Structure 1
């Protein structure tokens, strides 16, 4: 048994980011063609495109502000023209900001998180799911966070955006399930990425001591979970919020 995404096309927003790069490589290794979304880092997007085409897959880059519906629609048209229909959507992009307390956080940060978590997902759904309905299937995957369950100090804007996103995905899963479209979320913990490897900051005892598996997860482990949900192996899983964080948070029944 293996994950086979041959003849599938996947769109990954935030594909040039720490987690997005590994998702793109992983889905391509499973056989998928890739639409690499970026906002500012065109050079990294082109570098990643070259990596994926070297694997024998087709890949294109697409610039867009994911908080702008017209940009999302333009990205859909570019993908359709150059690669055909998109079978797998991975909403991974999020706006970065400086975390602080509720009393000190700028209102603009709450708006940015709502736009990049909730509205990005709504725009992607409106753009790509109608064609999935016509074809009778698809995968819609969002990258959430363990923070949505932690509610720690200084997380308020991020947690608010991701909790709003969670509501959209759960409702959407019920609305499109009859068309064999699955809608799921991956919730990473504090994940080791290439940035940590370069800075030798992989270990953090203060965090890991609270994780049942006693370590931080890796970008590859997050990407593996995305590949699973994108595949036929996950054909009967929908509406799920799946923590990939070594048990650091555990949803209750």
Structure 2
């Protein structure tokens, strides 16, 4: 059974991705940083549905944390051939006049450092298997260029750059590297949303509805499937056509 690691999978998009990949037959390593209860809940749901999953606590922005994670996943589930880089952190807004360099570094840690550490840690597994899949979770904010979100936007742009470069570097090993860029898809951290919260956004979405976590999970599932074996260096935007750049 092929092992898939999903980072930041104790809730939100990561939890939905983990459940979808398990339903598709992967053994899923459910990574969490703080919410062990949430990760164990996801694992329990996967097992109840007949799937295979284990929870793994690790800070995926830390060198030692990623090294320990790789060792533990291999020990408990086996080598990882599918890596979904989903973990994220706070995304504070700041106008350019208040922006400090640390704001940029905080975002780069999640969207440049963490994916780099993870790919390096599991590249030997993928090479040994003769191939693998890397999927990064980006954001359509890169095109939308929202005011006050310059640090987050810059880091997401860097993440897309990594995806394309790694796709060229790793293709000779049979490893595909792609990115899924969700639009605004409400999950637990967004809290309760009113119709007023949604009205303005929906007026700009051609498909006329808000995105659901399953929409993102479906895109990830495609990219890690055999149907996407010849797809690499690509960015799939999941936002109902909110932007089409």
Which residues of structure 1 form unaligned runs of 5+? 1-6
Measure, in 2, the Cα distance between the counterparts of 1:181 and 1:187: 20
Alpha-carbon displacement from aligned partner over 1:140-179 (angstroms, at most 9, x marks no partner): 0000000011112011011111111111111000001112
Measure, in 1, the Cα distance between the counterparts of 2:65 and 2:114: 11
1:28 to 9, 22, 27: 22
Q: Check whether the contact 2:5–2:29 (CA below 8 A) recurs between aligned residues.
A: yes
Alpha-carbon displacement from aligned partner over 1:44-68 (angstroms, at most 9, x marks no partner): 1111111112222221111111111
**Structure 1 counterpart of 2:174:** 180
The CA deviation at 1:105 is 3.0
The CA deviation at 1:17 is 2.8
Aligned pairs (5 A) from 1:92-111: 92-111=86-105
**Structure 1 counterpart of 2:70:** 76
Measure, in 1, the Cα distance between the counterparts of 2:189 and 2:117: 30
1:8–1:201 distance in 2 versus 1, CA, 3 Å: farther
Measure, in 1, the Cα distance between the counterparts of 2:60 and 2:68: 11
**Structure 2 counterpart of 1:3:** none
**Structure 2 counterpart of 1:240:** 234
Aligned pairs (5 A) from 1:78-157: 78-157=72-151
1:171 to 165, 170, 182: 165
Q: Check whether the contact 2:66–2:121 (CA below 8 A) recurs between aligned residues.
A: yes
Q: Check whether the contact 1:189–1:216 (CA below 8 A) recurs between aligned residues.
A: no
Which residues of structure 2 form unaligned runs of 5+? none
Q: Check whether the contact 2:179–2:235 (CA below 8 A) recurs between aligned residues.
A: yes
The CA deviation at 1:112 is 1.0
Alpha-carbon displacement from aligned partner over 1:11-41 (angstroms, at most 9, x marks no partner): 0001013111111111111111110110111
Q: Check whether the contact 1:63–1:75 (CA below 8 A) recurs between aligned residues.
A: yes
Measure, in 1, the Cα distance between the counterparts of 2:192 and 2:116: 36
The CA deviation at 1:210 is 1.2
Number of aligned residue pairs? 244
Measure, in 2, the Cα distance between the counterparts of 1:157 and 1:201: 28
TM-score (norm 1): 0.92
Measure, in 1, the Cα distance between the counterparts of 2:223 and 2:25: 15
**Structure 2 counterpart of 1:220:** 214
Measure, in 2, the Cα distance between the counterparts of 1:39 and 1:227: 23
Measure, in 1, the Cα distance between the counterparts of 2:76 and 2:151: 37
The CA deviation at 1:223 is 0.5
The CA deviation at 1:195 is 5.9
Say which is worse superposed, 202-211 or 235-244, in terms of deviation.
202-211
Measure, in 2, the Cα distance between the counterparts of 1:114 and 1:189: 20
Name the SS for the 2:94 alignment partner: coil
Alpha-carbon displacement from aligned partner over 1:87-146 (angstroms, at most 9, x marks no partner): 110000111132121222343221110010001111011001222012111100000000
Measure, in 2, the Cα distance between the counterparts of 1:57 and 1:114: 34
